[in-house]
A = this chain, B = another copy of it.
Amino acid sequence: MHRKVMVVAGVCLLAGALPFLLRSVPTMHAAASGAPAYAKNGDLLPLADYREWIYLSSGMNMSYSPKAADTAAFDNVFVNPEAYRNFMATGTWPDKTVMVVEVREAESKGSINQNGHFQGAALIGFEAHVKDEARFPGGCAFFDFHSPTTNGNLIPRDASCYSCHADHAAVDTTFVQFYPTLLTVAREKKTLSEGFLRADSGQPIAGK
């Protein structure tokens, strides 16, 4: 299932990216220990063990536009453990950080649940945000995946992911403002971006 505009806590799943199109090349091998690894064609190799990484937060039906989401869905964000521990010590991300967002359809009536929503088995989006300073212009890149076990395709640099994260992210192009346990650390370590601090205080962002 595709969502036309999918915007989630931490990583943009954007209209142009079309997550889950069958355009990955065959899988070679999984990236080890959360460090990013690439295929010869530039794809990001699968991040098969991401559910054992560190959980950052979830959102439900988040949208950065006035239009509400068409499909009820949760997004869950994970980061590789080494990067998490570094963030907790320094308030920012080391090189080779990999963040993953998975989007799952929300269910409501099921088993004994009568109100609210829980997460269903159907994955409807899967993307990664990779910090690799030597490899990418600007130091990071986004990849979208057909599934967690296939390779991820590089999202082109003119996609709105890049400019949105550059302009609005609280720390180092990542949406730490939506990760409650990290936001506290970033405030303590004074690593919040100038753009975020201006917006947070109600001042206009420079150039906007």
Contact = CB atoms under 8 A, between A and B. Distances in A.
A168 B51 CA distance: 26
Interface in A27-73: 51-52, 54-55, 57-69
Interface size bracket, A side: 35 or more
A183 interface: yes
B81 A52 contact: yes
Contact of A63 (B69, B74, B110, B115): B115
Contacts of A74: 58, 60
A207 interface: no
A76 B177 CA distance: 18
A183 B119 CA distance: 11
A69 B111 CA distance: 18
Contacts of A112: 64, 164, 168, 199
A143 interface: no
Contacts of A63: 113-116
A164 to B, nearest CB: 8
A120 interface: yes
A9 interface: yes
A3 interface: no
Contacts of A136: none
A155 B139 CA distance: 50
A11 interface: no
A111 B168 contact: yes
A189 to B, nearest CB: 16
Shortest Cβ-Cβ A-B pairs, 4 listed: A61-B116, A55-B55, A63-B115, A62-B116
Interface of A: 9, 51-52, 54-55, 57-69, 74, 76, 78, 81, 84, 104, 106, 110-121, 164, 168, 170, 175, 177-178, 180-181, 183-184, 196, 199-200
Given A60-B74, A104-B180, 9 more contacts: A57-B119, A62-B113, A62-B118, A63-B113, A63-B115, A63-B116, A66-B115, A112-B168, A113-B178
